[in-house]
Amino acid sequence: MELRRSHLREYLVLHTVGRIDHQTSAEFQAELLSAVAEGGADLILDFSGVEYISSAGLSALMTASRHKPRDRRIGVAGLNAVVQEIFTISRFHRIFPLFASVDAAVRDWENSGAAVDGPGPFGVRFWGTRGSLPAPLGHSAVRAKVREALLAAYQRGTPVPEAIEAFIDQELPFSVRSTFGGNTSCVEIVTGGAEYILCDLGTGVREFGNHVLGQRGPDAKGCYNVFMSHMHWDHIMGFPFFMPAYIPGNTIRIHGCHKGLREAIMRQQSDPCFPVNFAALGATIEFVELEPGAAYSVGGLSVCAIKQFHSGDTYGYRFSRGGKAIVYSTDCEHKTGSIDASYPFIEFYRDADLLIFDAMYSLADAISVKADWGHSSNIVAVELAQMAGVKRLALFHHEPVFDDGMIERVLGETVRFEELSRSGHKVEVLSAYDGLEIFL
């Protein structure tokens, strides 16, 4: 095995040729440790000459990764097909960003720091849309979907293999071909800027964090702005599994209008509820208290909060940029008797391009058995959206008892109610699902 170092711009490159196995791994590890100790530069491992890497070689890599300063990156470039496969099987590709070549690594790292605040695409990505409790699909629900799909294919005449994708997308209802998902509230406001913006920390934030790490590599540093509706469990329970919180160099700013934000987040990450104490998180975590009604500028957006009706209060947020607006308004019980033209939410929702709205219950339930439970109905959602001139209404915070078929049925009924009650412009109604992206 041969080892050689070079410098490319501000990066240190370690070129390795030969096999990295139990015979050569000690020498490889010593060179790696010396390279990471040599202050300053990020390290690119040029593997274009590496024929094979064994578990001993991978262990050397892991040791180097653990010894490197926290603000430095190690990337691996130019892997042959076999070495790449070994990285995948061992899951090392999740720890070390892999690049086609040293030049590709340099390009990627230089671009990753170059992002600026807007004007990129402005929209949302839903990571968790379920209310109150995570609601994973069970085996019988999956089986029922398979059965429905097979039955539909049989009735139509089984499609040829090339036509299967079109058959799935065009002929199967959403509730059969897909799922609304089971993660609790977490919505990303996409700006195309350098800072991330999120609403709430339900279980959807776990997938959001893993998605970012998968895209940018574990060593890329980021700033995450979170806007909290409130601290009920379904809105904070994803945070202990939000991997960027464990990575030094990341900044997480948790914004909200409640006084006890820090205590609520800390309490769920303390004995005996969770093994990793809040104080042990590597990221810098800040809490920012906002005033409802005041305008703030965060991540290239203007943000404003409104106080809502829910046990312990909740807050809705209006995000706007360049004349476009997205409103996140969940966990709020709008009492039907109090809604008229002077109702403050009409102004807050006014002309929004997208209104994300808690429509957890039917109207019958919301004003009888579930009155004062803190949630609203699809009927009130449509009426408010119409009065405020909202363009698109996303039903959100789905009842965990509802299966995909039921949520789809509620959506169909809500679209119909919008037609029946429309007196002016049309409100486009949709039902949010985990994974849905909407760009304005």
What minimum distance in Å lies between the beta carbon of 288 and Zn ion? 21
Q: What type of residue is 217?
A: G
Buried b vs exposed e over 35-54: b needs ≥16 C-beta within 10 Å?
bbeeeebbbbbbbeebeebb
Peptide bond into 344 cis (omega under 30): no
Location of structure tokens 């039907």: 336
The residue (of 234 and 404) whose beta carbon lies closer to Zn ion is 234
Phi, psi values for residue 155, rounded to 5° = -70, -30
What minimum distance in Å lies between the beta carbon of 234 and Zn ion? 4
Q: How far apart are CA 356 and CA 394, in angstroms?
A: 5
The residue (of 234 and 408) whose beta carbon lies closer to Zn ion is 234
Q: How far apart are CA 197 and CA 411, in angstroms?
A: 27
What minimum distance in Å lies between the beta carbon of 262 and Zn ion? 19
- 3-state secondary structure at position 388: helix
Location of structure tokens 């009130």: 380
The residue (of 11 and 126) whose beta carbon lies closer to Zn ion is 126
Helix, strand, coil fractions of the chain, as percent rounded to 5: 35, 25, 40
DSSP string, 144-172: HHHHHHHHHHHHH-PPPGGGHHHHHHHHS
Cβ atoms < 10 Å from Cβ of 107: 12
The residue (of 232 and 318) whose beta carbon lies closer to Zn ion is 232
The residue (of 77 and 359) whose beta carbon lies closer to Zn ion is 359
What minimum distance in Å lies between the beta carbon of 361 and Zn ion? 12
What minimum distance in Å lies between the beta carbon of 162 and Zn ion? 44
Binding site for Zn ion (CB under 5 A): 232, 234, 331
The residue (of 92 and 402) whose beta carbon lies closer to Zn ion is 402
The residue (of 214 and 260) whose beta carbon lies closer to Zn ion is 260
The residue (of 237 and 281) whose beta carbon lies closer to Zn ion is 237
Which residues have CB under 8 Å from 370's CB, separation 6+?
A: 361
Report the residue number whose CB is nearest to Zn ion. 232
The residue (of 16 and 129) whose beta carbon lies closer to Zn ion is 129
What minimum distance in Å lies between the beta carbon of 370 and Zn ion? 13
What minimum distance in Å lies between the beta carbon of 343 and Zn ion? 21
What minimum distance in Å lies between the beta carbon of 330 and Zn ion? 6
CA quadruple 397, 402, 405, 407: dihedral, nearest 10: -30
What minimum distance in Å lies between the beta carbon of 232 and Zn ion? 3
The residue (of 75 and 202) whose beta carbon lies closer to Zn ion is 202
Q: How far apart are CA 59 and CA 19, in angstroms?
A: 14
Which residues have CB under 8 Å from 357's CB, separation 6+?
A: 329, 330, 376, 381, 384, 385, 393, 394, 395, 396
Q: How far apart are CA 124 and CA 188, in angstroms?
A: 5
DSSP string, 77-134: E---HHHHHHHHHTTGGGTS-EESSHHHHHHHHHHHT---S-SS--EEEEEE-B-SS-
What minimum distance in Å lies between the beta carbon of 214 and Zn ion? 27
